[in-house]
Amino acid sequence: MSSIDEVVANLRLITYVDENVEAYLHDETPKDVAPKPNKNVVVVKPSSVEEVSKIVSYANEYGIPIVVRGGGTGLSGGAVPIKPSIVISMERLNRILEVDTKNLTITCEAGVTLRELIEAAEKVGLSFPPHPGDESATVGGMISTNAGGVRAVKYGVMRNYVLGLEVVLPNGEILKLGGKVIKNVSGYNLMHLIIGSEGTLCIVTKAIIRILPKSKKNYTLVIPFESENDAIESVSRILSILTPLAIEYIEVDAIKYGEKVTGKKWVSKDGKAHLMLIIEAKDEDELIEIAEKIEKACENPLNIFVASSIKEQRDLLEIRSMFYEGLKDEIIDIMDVSIPTANIPEYLRRCNKIAKNLGLKIVTYGHAGDGNVHQHPLKCEDGKEKYEKFKREAFKIAKELGGFITGEHGVGFVKKNNLAEFLSQSELELMKGIKKLFDPNGIMNPGKVIDA
């Protein structure tokens, strides 16, 4: 990399350079596993795709690594610069360009937040159904990680809503992919290759996002169970009779962390684990009918609590959304394996046995309806060493049961070595070939996901 002063001087001719580097060196990855950031970086804030193209062309010519940053809400170290780099913040590329009510699409720049996307759809009486986590997350970041969230069981993940992309290749070329169509089989689908690539192939600058008509009213149910096994076994039974908006598995130990942050109270502390369901119904009569079917389908439920008012639902969702915030200073990592839903009980039984043998306390919750399990190993004496042993064994079990090492947080830096152990040699070589074809000089987010 040229001297930092020289790079800054050259980039000032292209775009806005921010002197506040420290704010762009970290994301939400737990501190014990997050990569150590390299502070020898230049932070730029382009306001157009043309500026992005010029920045990338300059970086490619001089072999300077690029790290693209959205809302900084990632949990795998993917947006942390680990080499002297140009950090491209997308916060000034934040315009909603079109809300097309005839084609049911929103066209927006990559720095638009999830909150802004939801609000834009609601203003015209439509909706963006998935909810991939923190509402300060940006469209570009959600696309780059193929973000999921609690509603994936019914409405899918980010990939299911991206119809078109504008991207900047590592040589500076601007490419437009897809469009306002649902079907497109015109050759290899490069757009879907880019979705989930975690900033290692190119830079997303604009997207065409699918929106849908508003759904029925939402209602939240909480069902306590005497045992963790009864709770998780009930998930498949529920899914066999209906598809809720969300099914969250929550061990009672996790609840206090959300309560601590919000100052609000959960409906019950009965049992050892709860299921929280969000269901759609046209009115309270239909809600009662659905709730009765769910209760009958469950394995030994202790009770069923129905939150029908907006305030009750909001309080429950707020507590659930703050579990990680309350836990993050006490945990080593947040794992997010993806398991076929019917195999979650076996996965948790085997993992809990390993954790017990290691003397490692695990707090577990997650999106049980789509098989995305979040396990939080708590800090303890020799915790990191125990965690590494636990993680290796957990990933082996996940693979045996037909699952994967990450369902929504991505590989980033944290799981890069695990990915190399998890995939076959043929898969790794194909991925390396794709990386090399897109990014021959290796400037795009080096040290993350896979090396060419």
The CATH number linked to 178 is 3.30.465.10
* Residue where one domain finishes, among candidates 190, 213, 236: 213
pLDDT tier, 133 (very low <50, low <70, confident <90, very high otherwise): confident
Q: In angstroms, rounded to a whole number, what is the distance separating the alpha carbons of residues 137 and 70?
A: 7
* Residue where one domain finishes, among candidates 159, 193, 213: 213
181 and 258, same domain (yes or no): no
| Domain presence at residue 450 | no
76 and 52, same domain (yes or no): yes
CB atoms within 10 A of CB 284: 13
For the chain, percent of residues with pLDDT exceeding 70:
100
Whose structure tokens read 């940006």? 138
Our CA angle for 49, 55, 59, nearest 5°, is 140
56 and 120, same domain (yes or no): no
User: Domain containing 339 — which CATH number?
Assistant: 3.30.70.2740
113 and 204, same domain (yes or no): yes
What per-residue confidence (pLDDT) applies to 1?
59
| Domain presence at residue 434 | no
What per-residue confidence (pLDDT) applies to 28?
95
Q: In angstroms, rounded to a whole number, what is the distance separating the alpha carbons of residues 102 and 125?
A: 12
| Cα dihedral: 322, 324, 328, 332 (round 10) | 170
Q: What is the average per-residue pLDDT within 5-20? A: 94
Q: Give yes or no for a contact between 80 and 29, defined as CB atoms under 8 angstroms apart.
A: yes
pLDDT in tens, 214-257: 988 889 999 999 999 999 999 999 999 999 999 999 999 999 99
253 and 348, same domain (yes or no): no
318 and 335, same domain (yes or no): no
Q: In angstroms, rounded to a whole number, what is the distance separating the alpha carbons of residues 233 and 218?
A: 24
317 and 378, same domain (yes or no): no
DSSP code per residue over 124-187: TTEE-----S-TT-BHHHHHHTT---TTHHHH--GGGGEEEEEEE-TTS-EEEEE-S-S---SS
User: Domain containing 297 — which CATH number?
Assistant: 3.30.70.2190
| Domain presence at residue 421 | no
| Domain presence at residue 197 | yes
**Does the structure show a pLDDT above 90 at 323?**
yes
Q: What is the average per-residue pLDDT within 183-201? A: 97
107 and 43, same domain (yes or no): no
Q: Give yes or no for a contact between 424 and 409, defined as CB atoms under 8 angstroms apart.
A: no
Whose structure tokens read 């950090």? 87
| Domain presence at residue 81 | yes
pLDDT tier, 452 (very low <50, low <70, confident <90, very high otherwise): confident
Q: Where are the alpha helices (DSSP H) in 204-309?
A: 228-239, 252-262, 284-297
| Domain presence at residue 424 | no
259 and 159, same domain (yes or no): no
Mean pLDDT of the chain: 96
**Does the structure show a pLDDT above 90 at 4?**
no
336 and 320, same domain (yes or no): no
Whose structure tokens read 């089989």? 185
pLDDT in tens, 89-100: 999 999 999 999
Please report, for residues 100, 140, 387, the alpha-carbon distance to residue 198 in angstroms, rounded to integers and kept in the order given.
Answer: 28, 10, 25
Number of domains into which the chain is organized = 4
Give me the domain span that covers residue 271.
217-325
Structure pTM? 0.95
| Domain presence at residue 275 | yes
DSSP secondary-structure letter at 36? P
Q: What is the average per-residue pLDDT within 44-70? A: 98
User: Domain containing 30 — which CATH number?
Assistant: 3.30.43.10
* Residue where one domain finishes, among candidates 284, 310, 325: 325
| Domain presence at residue 205 | yes
Q: In angstroms, rounded to a whole number, what is the distance separating the alpha carbons of residues 211 and 108?
A: 12
293 and 314, same domain (yes or no): yes
The amino acid at 36: K
77 and 111, same domain (yes or no): no
Distant-in-sequence, close-in-space partners of 167: CB < 8 Å, separation ≥ 6: 174, 175, 177, 194, 202, 203, 204, 205
CB atoms within 10 A of CB 95: 14
